[in-house]
Structure 1
Amino acid sequence: MSLRSLFVDFNSYFASVEQHEDPSLRGRPVGVAPVAAETTSLIAASYEAKAFGVGTGTMVREARRRCPGIQIRVARPERYVVWHHRLMEAIDHAIPVGRVGSIDEVACELVGRQRRREVAEEIAQQVKNEVALAAPGGAIRCSIGIAPNDFLAKTASDMKKPDGLTVIELADLPHALHGLELRDLCGIGPSMEARLHEAGITTVAQLTAADKHRLRHAWGGIEGERMWGLLRGAWLPTAPTERGSIGHSHVLGPELRTPVGARAVLKKLLVKAAMRMRREEMLSGAMAVRIRFIGHDQRWERDLAFDPTDDSRELLRLLNGVLDSGNRRHPLPGPANATPLSVSVTLMRLVPRTQSSGSLFAPTQDTRRVDALVDRINNKFGYNKLYFGSMQLALEHDAAPMRIPFNRVPDTDSENEAGHDPLWLQSLNRFKAIAEGEHRRRERGGKGN
């Protein structure tokens, strides 16, 4: 009875929700984009679209070229969050929901007799039946992996899609993994793959054969030993972590790829982060600002430390200082005349309000009351009903809408934007990395022609 984890992965989740809510899309190729623009990249594609070589990261206009009949839908994070909760409830009818990894993934722990293979497979089938009851019509499906730990169960869930069921037992290891590529394993991205190659590990077979010391060296720390254990089926629950930062990022739409547009979006992102921070009764003592430009691999970045605060106006003043610290002849720092592609701002060095005396120059009580009043109005009547004038351009173009923060399910009552949800953000962040790479690739290609 080595099986301890049942992992549920919803297939092409965003596109599947669109197909479920609009039956005319079922059986047809569908792509989901963050904004209505031909130059943006898809964040999801249905399996009908994938058959034409369209997938996450494909630019909209390229998707239309490869698949002339594709239907493009603008992402609706609020609906994806609603369905996330419905589907978690459906799973809970079959087995208690354990750790929610993202908006379309969840790991459940098998206990007692559930660890028997035949019982675990019965539970997996019950999960599929409950999903079918919650979303009749067959548009929303899931693949399920069963294994000795969450890492291997997630890996198993990816082996057979869509609507698959794969079981990996201890006796199947490590050979069951040898047909995979390194990047198929959770936690191995492009940079980690490059480090493994430098360590002489180019296949999963070589990875599973490596000893603890070699993996520790490749990972540069204890995570290498952790990977060694996970590959062998060790049950290593994820240790709880404390929040160390609050931030937001956004890939700019074509209409906002100007210095003025980028600054407006940065200010909106900062105010969103400050509002979240106040809701969690935290203060920030540092800020990180990042800007990427089309055709430039190197991003512009600045970090700033300051006395702990949660005041939006003080944080905006600090942001303006960072953006104006470069050449004043250019309204935006970074390469001269470069076109901004994406921006991000992160508040760091978070401390509970009760554990910090703040600064001698901290805002007055009246200032805090204004922040509290603005937050209450926006919570009650909708996000950005009251806002700073410097955010106007970003609001006109609906930039940086609701997102999903990491490691939590969105609180739609208090946030008023599904985009604040960590789970949606998690998925969007994966898209942003792909989209930025695609833009840079196309820019370099254009210069070479």
Structure 2
Amino acid sequence: MALKWLFLDMNAFFASVEQQENPRLRGKPVAVVPVMSDSTCCIAASYEAKRFGIKTGTNVGEARRLCPHLILIETTSHSHYREYHNAIVNVVESCLPVTEIWSVDEMVCKLWANEKRAEDALALGQKIKSEIFRNVGEQMCCSVGLSLNPFLAKVAGELQKPNGLVALDEEDLPHRLYKLKLTDFPGINRSMEARFHAAGVRTTEHMCALSQEQMRRVWGGVMGEYWWRQLRGEYVQRPTNERRSVSHTHVMPPELRTPAGAAAVQCRLLEKAAERMRGLGFYARGMGVFARGVAHDKWENHCRFAPCADTWTLMEIMQSLFHHPFRQPKQVGVALYDLVPVKNVTGSLFDDYERRWRLSVAMDGINQRFGRHTITMASSRRAETAKEDKIAFGKIAEIV
């Protein structure tokens, strides 16, 4: 069976961008963090830092203990990450059309008919790696996986890191997967691993030996069937998931860790969530707000309401909910959920709501054209010191 898919994963992407931009960071242990605080976690770690056991999600205080000479880079903007992402996509497109972008550092391409032989596909993968090195930067290494479907191509890319190039063809399956731990597979986290263990499955070899029905039982539904088929090289076209919520959270800098500062940041987060929701074409029928104190205790509150999408009404709802008990709140968040498409919402009979909706949409247009927060609610002005330009792990925003 011929190879059909190419998967590209940029190695330690965010840390590599920082090392590419700043030659003094090259060859040194680097971690990218959202704020300079030992209580937050590392967003990314360079391979020099990974040798000390530091990885994405490692607590910064623990990372400093593991590597006292670790260099921390605070993300004040993610525009340069978007620029590198776009440059990488352009390089890949010059070699092979990108079928789908999975995240800021991952993409998948369907191979042409004349590229499906193993030697041709491997040569193409090497060409893409070389072109990224030459045109984007010598610090921008990537792993390329080639296989029968996107899932196995991603798994192939995980087999050799960093800077890998691996093909998994039909004759490699399933025995070449056996050296992987269950959690090495995309989609199996610790909780899913526990479900496999509860079913008596502790190795990849055992997982691959499960029947389709056994796999369904472990996963609790049709996802198990998808996995069973994909492990055997089939291409599975999954149905598009319906969006259920839009949410934002923020760990606040020390100067905003007061009730008033938290309220301002919460307003800013709601503005962002509401704008995103309108851009996606939804109304919300529920809202949740939460806060976490410096002692890691948590508070949350929820309510449901008639379909709503204008910022003013949502702000009034949030203000009725947000009465957390913390004198020093550390993190706040807001979620708009139970979303319904605009086309399914009957127009309001009240002129005031219609005016609020039109004004919200007008503000969205101005902010998209002239920059985020060009027009904003007065209640969120104090939050301007918060770093609101977040790293886009998923959808890549356009540079404006």
TM-score calculated relative to the size of structure 1: 0.82
Distance, in Å, in 2 between the alignment partners of 1:89 and 1:57 is: 30
Give the aligned partner of residue 386 of structure 1: 375
Q: Secondary structure at the match of 1:412?
A: coil
CA contact (8 A) 1:15 1:32 kept: yes
CA contact (8 A) 2:312 2:356 kept: no
**What is the SS of the residue equivalent to 1:93?**
helix
Cα shift at 1:72:
1.6
Structure 1 match to 2:324: 332
Deviations 1:32-66 (A, max 9, x none): 11123333221111111112222222333443343
Change (3 A) 1:403 1:27: closer
Change (3 A) 1:244 1:197: same
Take 1:261 and 1:207, find their aligned partners in 2: how far apart are those partners?
A: 50
The corresponding residue for 2:231 is 231
CA distance in 1, matches of 2:208, 2:301: 40
Q: Tell me the secondary structure at the aligned position of residue 9 of structure 1.
A: strand
Q: Which of 350, 371, 390 does residue 360 from structure 2 map onto?
A: 371
C-alpha spacing 1:257/1:182, structure 2 compared with 1 (3 Å): farther
Paired residue secondary structure (1:269): helix
Residue aligning to 2:320:
321
> Is 1:93 aligned to residue 82 of structure 2?
no
Deviates more, 1:312-321 or 1:260-269: 260-269
Find the counterpart in structure 1 of residue 125 from structure 2: 124
SS of 1:188's partner is coil
How far residue 242 of structure 1 moved from its aligned partner, in angstroms, is 4.2
Q: Does 1:204 align with 2:204?
A: yes
Tell me how far apart the structure 1 counterparts of residues 36 and 356 of structure 2 sit (CA, whole Å): 39
C-alpha distance in 2, partners of 1:204/1:83?
A: 35
Deviations 1:97-141 (A, max 9, x none): 1121111011111231321101110110111111012223x2011
Q: Where does 1:150-169 land on structure 2 (aligned, <5 Å)?
A: 150-169=150-169
CA separation of 1:262 and 1:205: change in aligned 2, threshold 3 A:
farther
Distance (Å, rounded) in 2 between the aligned partners of 1:376 and 1:73? 33
Match of 1:276 in 2: 276
- How far did residue 316 of structure 1 move? 1.0
CA distance in 2, matches of 1:194, 1:361: 52
CA distance in 2, matches of 1:248, 1:93: 35
> How much does 1:254 deviate?
4.0
**Contact 1:40 1:253 (C-alpha < 8 Å) held by counterparts:** no
Identity %: 39
Instruction: Please report how far the alpha carbon of residue 359 of structure 1 lies from its aligned counterpart in structure 2 after TM superposition.
Output: 4.1
Q: Cα 1:101–1:95, aligned 2, differ >3 Å: closer, same or farther?
A: same
Unaligned runs of 5+ in 2: none
Equivalents in 2 of 1:55, 1:63: separation in Å? 9
Once residues 259 and 200 of structure 2 are traced to their aligned partners in structure 1, the CA distance between those partners, rounded to angstroms, is: 44
Please tell me whether the aligned partners of residues 32 and 44 of structure 1 are also in contact (alpha carbons under 8 angstroms).
yes
- One-letter amino acid matched to 2:306: D
Mapped partners of 2:256, 2:213: distance in 1: 49
AA of the residue aligned to 2:315: L
1:356 maps to: 345
Following TM superposition, by how much is the alpha carbon of 1:338 offset from its aligned partner in structure 2, in angstroms?
Answer: 8.3
Q: Is the 8 A contact 1:215 1:224 kept in 2?
A: yes
Return the alpha-carbon distance in structure 2 between the equivalents of residues 183 and 382 of structure 1: 40
Separation of aligned partners in 1, 2:277 and 2:328: 31
- Distance change >3 Å, CA 181–CA 405, structure 1 → 2: closer
Conserved? CA contact 2:291–2:324, under 8 Å: no
CA contact (8 A) 1:93 1:130 kept: no
Name 1:39's counterpart in structure 2.
39
**CA distance in 2: counterparts of 1:98 and 1:382, whole angstroms:** 30
Q: What pairs up with 1:288-303 in 2 under 5 angstroms?
A: 288-293=288-293, 300-303=299-302
Amino acid in the other structure paired with 1:370 = L
1:363, distance to aligned residue in structure 2 (A):
3.6
CA contact (8 A) 1:20 1:135 kept: no
Contact 2:78 2:389 in 1 (8 A): no
* Mapped pair 1:308 → 2:307: yes
Counterpart secondary structure, 2:397 = coil
| Aligned CA-pair RMSD | 2.4
Kindly state the Cα deviation for residue 306 of structure 1 after the two structures are TM-superposed: 1.5
Instruction: Give the secondary-structure state (helix, strand or coil) at the position aligned to 1:35.
Output: coil
Residue 266 of structure 1, CA deviation? 2.3
Instruction: Tell me which amino acid in the other structure corresponds to 1:404.
Output: A
User: What are the residue-to-residue correspondences of 1:256-267 with 2, within 5 Å?
Assistant: 256-267=256-267
- Secondary structure, in 3 states, of the residue corresponding to 2:95? coil
C-alpha separation in 1, matches of 2:52 and 2:317: 48
- Structure 2 CA distance for partners of 1:405 and 1:371, relative to 1, 3 Å: farther
CA displacement at 1:304 relative to structure 2 = 2.6
- Aligned counterparts of 1:56 and 1:405: Cα–Cα separation in 2: 12
Measured in 2, the distance between the counterparts of 1:222 and 1:271 equals 37
Unmatched runs of 5 consecutive residues or more in structure 1: 324-330, 414-449
